[in-house]
């Protein structure tokens, strides 16, 4: 399949999973993960109608997305990789959604930069559902308190939660945990599911799924 066919295949699987889970059509948004791919590889996906994209690194994104956004109206760019506090200003300037708020230092840096720049990207808290030491994210038991800190102490509007389940585990229980935490925190958005498990994520309530290789091919 070419890239447009792969994109349509993924969209079709999302629609089928929505129907299976008795969810409204279009309730799960596809975030096409374009990390490591250059602008020329991304343009055909934009031409095929995709408008929501995800990137892992601020610096890499700065090299391609300002031009791509200028070329096509309506692009929504998500930061789905780790964010360092010294990149907070650049992230606020470029991204529409930042999914990886995972510690107090980052939350404070984002709050400061949002005030400075007068911009309000949507913010998600990343939860380390598997408690993996090598992976970023707030521990599940600390999530509610952290969301409240972001809201009450920093005035941040936290709209969603995000997770990346351990690669070797059944993702279902992790998705179920994130959905439970979202209800406890009073947030509506759930970013969960990647190329290997996005259909399962939709069934567990994902409002967005992050799919890269199934669209762009192997990196």
The string of DSSP letters for 86-140 reads GGHHHHHHH-SEEEEE-SHHHHHHHHHHHHHHT---EEEEEE-TT--TTS-SB-G
**124: containing domain:** 3-216
CATH number of the domain where residue 189 is located: 3.20.20.10
pLDDT at 162: 98
Total number of domains in the chain: 1
Report how many helices (DSSP H) and strands (DSSP E) the chain contains, helices first: 10, 8
Tens digit of pLDDT at every position of the chain (219 positions): 899 999 999 999 999 999 999 999 999 999 999 999 999 999 999 999 999 999 999 999 999 999 999 999 999 999 999 999 999 999 999 999 999 999 999 999 999 999 999 999 999 999 999 999 999 999 999 999 999 999 999 999 999 999 999 999 999 999 999 999 999 999 999 999 999 999 999 999 999 999 999 999 887
Structure tokens at 76: 């929504």
pTM for the model: 0.96
pLDDT at 1: 80
Torsion on CA atoms 130, 135, 137, 141, rounded to nearest 10: 30
């Amino acid at each position: 399949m070419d890239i447009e066919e792969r994109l349509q295949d993924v969209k079709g699987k999302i629609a089928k999973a929505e129907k299976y889970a008795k969810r409204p059509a279009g309730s799960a948004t596809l975030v096409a993960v374009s990390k490591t791919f250059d602008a020329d590889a991304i343009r055909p996906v934009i031409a095929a109608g995709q408008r929501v994209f995800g990137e892992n690194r601020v610096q890499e994104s700065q090299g391609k997305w300002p031009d791509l956004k200028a070329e096509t109206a309506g692009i929504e760019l998500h930061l789905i990789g780790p964010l360092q506090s010294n990149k907070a200003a650049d992230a606020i300037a470029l991204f529409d959604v930042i999914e990886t708020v995972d510690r107090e230092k980052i939350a404070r840096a984002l709050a400061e930069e949002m005030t400075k720049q007068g911009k309000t990207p949507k913010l998600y808290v990343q939860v380390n559902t598997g408690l993996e030491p090598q992976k970023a994210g707030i521990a599940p038991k600390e999530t509610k308190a952290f969301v409240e800190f972001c809201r009450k102490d920093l005035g941040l509007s936290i709209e969603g939660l995000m997770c990346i389940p351990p690669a070797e585990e059944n993702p279902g229980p992790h998705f179920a945990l994130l959905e439970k935490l979202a209800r406890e925190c009073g947030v509506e958005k759930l970013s969960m599911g990647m190329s290997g498990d996005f259909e399962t994520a939709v069934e567990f309530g994902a409002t967005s799924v992050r799919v890269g290789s199934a669209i762009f091919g192997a990196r």
